[in-house]
Amino acid sequence: MANVLDIRRRIRSVRNTRQITKAMKMISAARLRRAQERALGARPYGQMLTNILKSLVSRAEIYDPETGEPRHPLLARRPEKRILLIVVTGDRGLAAAFNANITKAALRFLREKQGSSIDVVAVGRKGRDFFRRRYPWNPDPLMRLGPVQLVAEHVGVLGKLQFSDAGRLAESLIAQYTEEKIDAVYVLYNEFKSVIAQRLVVERVLPIGELGAHEFAQAEEMTREERERAARVATSAAISTQEADTAAMDEHAAQFGVASQDYIYEQPPQELFRDLLPKYVAIQVFRAMLESVAAEHAARMTAMDSATSNASDMIDALTLTMNRARQAAITKEIIEIVSGAAAL
Partner 1 sequence: MPLNFEIVTPERQVAEGAADEIQIPGKNGYLGILPGHAPLLSELGVGEIVCRRGREARHLAVAWGFAEVLPDKVTILAETAERAEEIDVARAERARDRAEKRLREAQEETDFERAQVALERALIRIQVAGHGH
Kindly list the residues in this chain that would bind partner 1 in the complex (CB under 8 A): 38, 41-42, 44-46, 48-49, 52, 162-164, 166-167, 256-257, 259-260, 262-267, 271-272, 275-276, 279, 282-283, 286
Q: Which is nearer to partner 1, 110 or 208 (CB)?
A: 208
CB of 128 to partner 1, least distance (A): 25
H or E segment and range at residue 74? none
> Alpha helices of 190-256 — where are they, by DSSP H?
224-236, 247-254
CB of 299 to partner 1, least distance (A): 24
By beta-carbon proximity to partner 1, the closer residue of 42 and 152 is 42
CB of 259 to partner 1, least distance (A): 5
Q: Which residues pair with 199 in a beta bridge?
A: 191, 221
Give the number of other CB atoms < 10 A from CB of residue 16. 11
Min dist CB 138 to partner 1, Å, is: 22
Measured from the CB atom, the residue of 112 and 250 that comes closer to partner 1 is 250
Of the candidates 103, 99, 160, 100, the one whose C-alpha atom is nearest the C-alpha of residue 131 is 103
Q: How far is CA 168 from CA 24, 118, 124, 171, 288, in A?
A: 32, 21, 16, 5, 15
* Cis ω before 207 (30° cut-off from 0): yes
Residue among 128, 92, 103 nearest 299 (CA)? 92
Residue among 93 and 257 whose Cβ is closer to partner 1: 257
CB closer to partner 1, 162 vs 323: 162
Burial 135-160 (b: 16+ CB within 10 A, else e): beebeeeeeeeeebbbbbbbeebbee
Residue 279: CB minimum distance to partner 1, A? 7
